[in-house]
A and B are shown apart, each in its own frame.
Chain A
Amino acid sequence: MMNLSLEAGFALNVALLLMLVCVGIAIAATRSLLAAILLMGIYSLVSTVWLVVMDAADVAFTEAVVGAGVSTIVLLGAMLLARGDTERHDWRRLVAPALLAAVVGGVLIYAALDLPNFGDPASPANSHVGRAYLEAAQHKTGALNVVTAVLGSYRGFDTLGETVVIFAAGIGVALMLGFGPRATLPAPPDVMGDHHVVLRVTAKLLMPLIALYAFYVQFHGDLGAGGGFQAGVILAVAVILHALVFGLRETVLAIPAKLARTLATLGVLIYAVIGLICIVNGGGFLDYDHLFASKVEAMIPPGLLGDPDGAHHWGQHFGIFFIELGVLLTVAATMVTIFYGFAGRMMDGGAAKR
């Protein structure tokens, strides 16, 4: 990764954390909501750089797309819908929260001093389960990216829960904001379209490239940084770009809200069904070694993946492949659904009640 000397790495770590603290305080102090949202985006980006310095490549990737990308879009959408811009400050209401923060913070700092030293390779956290993953992951699952191996295989059940959380968020937003402009509404003046030729041409060029990049990230998840979540969000970004440039109505014609919901559901179903297939074939839930029935496994020539006990790796590879596909579908479709919810609300007339 980064060949920084230890001291330079630590100095960068300190500098970035101090920047984060400054940005955090700026968010607290600012009165303008728009400034707060943009500062939040900066906070996410600085976190991303810090995560790279901390050797957390996948997390940095996710923070960049999810934190700086999706969160900012959703916050801006909410701000536009809520027509809030500035907030009033009354110093009296700051006293109690400040005291609470001081007390809780003091307790936390006091406790944190008893944690192992930062960067200690012999700490319980770094020497027990964490280290076992590093030793076993490539051999057991065939994936080079240990984080993907743990996410997709060892702790695959957690990832199923995570996918369900995204799905639940999509349901929640759809319950609150609906599914976007309805076909029966008369076509309103083009609230979100833009007729500028340069934008239209560039968008048309960029969208397939963005989608291609999303698929690259998806399929290279076990070889390098990447995976289903990042890919799903990038794919959704391509759709959002289309909506921003060509108008929401056009996008909804291409990708109806119903399709998005169906794809989101399909993603979760794929994940659950993979787990159930493993049960049917005699293993436990999500036990990829049993993904293929033994008859099918016997048909695969050994050593095809370059490893003597290759048959096991087929199960692991395909297992991780399919669940990442499920994650991609659910994440992309849910992000699109959430965007439709916010953007569609604006087209419906914003503050008008349904």
Chain B
Amino acid sequence: MTLFDNLYVAPAALAVHAPILAIAGPLIGACAAALSPGPRSGWIISVITAAFALWMSVAVACDVAREGVMIYVMGGFQPPLGIALRIDALGSAMALLVSSMGLIGAVYSGHALVSDVRAEMHTLFQSGYLLCIAGFLGLVFTGDAFNAFVFLEVSSIGTYALVAAGEQRDRRALPAAFNYLIMGTIGATFYVIGIGFLYGSTGTLNMMDMAARLTTQGDNAAVQAGFAFVVVGLGIKAAIFPLHGWLPGAYAGAPSLVSVFLAATATKTAIYLIARFMFDVFPDTFAFGLAFTQFVLAPLSAVAVIVCSLQAIFAREVRQMLAFSSVAQVGLIMLGLSLANAAGASAGLFYIFAHALMKASLFMALGALAMSIKARKLDDFAGVARDAPWSATALGVGAASLAGLPLTMGFLAKWKLVEAALEAGAIWMVLVIATGSALTLVYTWRIADALFFRSPPPGAPRVREAPVGVLAPLWVLAGLSLWFGIDASLPESLAKSAAAALFGVAP
């Protein structure tokens, strides 16, 4: 990570406490937002807090690049008695993702909320949004298994209410949010049950201590059940097929900002925790884990790629299309991780970054277009490129990245996956990726065709270009998709170091 090795972004006194400040900052910001008098001040608080969180995340990344692992002890009690944050290259990469998406979302929220959420709810909405950021950052930084559950729920409870807030635009957000709450809570409770089995077998909650004890413990049904329930519980949160039922409704009905942020971060942080457990907590010789990954996760992910891409093709509404596409992409990411080696994990992580950028830009572009017209189906978007060229082009860039066209980050991401699969000798995986890409091409072409090559139906309301406050974050996202498609050194080095940290090999 040569970029971060020599970078010193914060005074040493601050940088030492950067992990907890990255979490406490959004927390205090959420309190301030809840008390703020109006939407304008709420927005300013949101942007400042998200920027602070990003600054602290960069400081953490710099420290981790130099030291390898950053451990921050809470309350002065060393683990396993106390709770400690443990950040390695993987955690810092995820934190950079969450905080940068958080800032972009915060900037976008200035205009996005006006059409989607009732005016008197804006400050509460910002408060919930900042709580989500705090929750995700806590999740990726913590080194304690139960603490991870608490922060998972901090972010989730905020998320359920934020998704339901989309009811002003479309009342289907409400049953979708309820469904999401039920499935998400079942997932979190499965996770707690799994941790219970692991605690009962090892006596500790600290992840590294647990790892040390599991190597000597031997394999028994309780440990296996712990593994299974942790992975399945988090799998529900990560929308791994077939536990993904909640996602299409939630992403389609949520306010635009929420879809943007969730698509980039919610499932990814759950995948992070799965990877942490699968490869760090459980020993490499854990036979049940290897079998589970090879014979359950990998096939299900392959099915996800094919089936959900098909569902995306036949979806009637554009946001549903993108939501199904998200589940398919999660399948691709899990395929990379299921190779259980550094190359596969590196490819999976690179895909996480690529997907975050492209999905967020797609949802944001849709939101930008939907500000002036009530658009749900593809036909509603016919010919908008004429009147809203910037938004439409950004959408086109996102779609191209999704399809994996050359010069976009999506292309490189798919390429890395194929490389990792070939290296591991998994030819079937290459076939799945190829088929998935072909299917993705079909629905992305449908989107591009509607936007650029069709003319708007007569009598349809004219779409207006979105304001600069929306176009700026949108083009940051789309621009990065193009930039990293040409020069991917930053995300590539992040992904490589993260994968190396996960598997204990040299980057």
- The chain A residues found within 8 Å of chain B, CB to CB, are 107-108, 110-116, 123-130, 132-133, 136, 153-158, 161-162, 164-165, 167-169, 171-176, 261-262, 264-265, 268-269, 272, 275-276, 279, 283-290
Contacts and interface: CB of A to CB of B under 8 A. Distances in A.
Q: Which of A108, A114, A132, A175 has the most chain B CB within a 10 Å cutoff?
A: A175
21 contacts: A125-B200, A127-B203, A128-B202, A129-B203, A133-B81, A136-B81, A157-B75, A161-B154, A165-B153, A165-B154, A168-B158, A171-B124, A171-B161, A172-B158, A172-B160, A175-B165, A265-B31, A268-B27, A272-B27, A285-B20, A288-B75
B131 A171 contact: yes
B80 A128 contact: yes
Nearest to A168: B157
A118 to B, nearest CB: 11
B151 A172 contact: no
Contacts of A130: 203
Given A108-B225, A155-B82, A268-B27, A172 B128 contact: yes
Interface stretch (B216-224, B443-451, B462-470): B216-224
B43 to A, nearest CB: 17
B74 A114 contact: no
Nearest to A174: B124
Interface in B92-147: 121, 124-125, 127-128, 131, 134-135, 138, 144, 146-147
A271 to B, nearest CB: 9
Contacts of B202: 124, 128
Contacts of A123: 200, 203
A129 B200 contact: no
B34 interface: yes
Given A171-B158, A285-B74, 5 more contacts: A115-B197, A153-B75, A156-B75, A171-B30, A276-B24
B150 A161 contact: yes
In the A-B complex, list the 8 residue pairs whose CB atoms are closest, starting with the nearest. A111-B225, A128-B203, A172-B161, A124-B203, A287-B76, A161-B150, A114-B221, A114-B222
Contacts of A116: 200
B432 interface: no
Interface string B221-247: 110111010000000000000000000
B125 A157 contact: no
Nearest to B217: A124
Interface of B: 17, 20, 24, 27-28, 30-31, 34-35, 72-77, 80-83, 121, 124-125, 127-128, 131, 134-135, 138, 144, 146-147, 150-151, 153-154, 157-158, 160-162, 164-165, 193, 197, 199-205, 213, 220-222, 224-226, 228
Given A129-B204, A158-B83, A287 B222 contact: no
Contacts of A127: 203
A77 B161 CA distance: 19
A269 B24 CA distance: 10
A161 B89 CA distance: 24
Contact of B77 (A111, A154, A269): A154
A244 to B, nearest CB: 26
B199 A285 contact: no
Contacts of A288: 75-76
Instruction: Give the one of A169, A171, A262, A287 with max B CB within 10 A.
Output: A171
A343 to B, nearest CB: 19
A129 to B, nearest CB: 5
Among A133, A161, A272, A287, find the residue whose CB has the most chain B CB atoms closer than 10 A: A161
Contacts of A132: 81
A354 B154 CA distance: 29
Given A132-B81, A168-B131, A175-B121, A126 B203 contact: yes
Contact of B138 (A114, A161, A261, A289): A161
Contacts of A112: 197, 222, 225
A158 B203 contact: no
A199 B27 CA distance: 42
Nearest to B83: A157
Given A128-B204, A172-B158, A285-B74, A158 B164 contact: no
Contacts of B205: 129
Given A110-B221, A287-B76, A261 B35 contact: yes
A265 B34 contact: yes
A15 B55 CA distance: 57
Contacts of B76: 283-284, 286-290
A279 B229 CA distance: 37
B359 to A, nearest CB: 25
Nearest to B20: A285
Contact of A111 (B72, B203, B222): B222
A137 to B, nearest CB: 10
Given A162-B150, A261-B35, A113 B221 contact: yes
Scoring A154, A158, A269 by chain B CB atoms within 10 A of each residue's CB, the highest score goes to: A158
A157 B204 contact: no
Contacts of A114: 220-222
Nearest to B82: A154
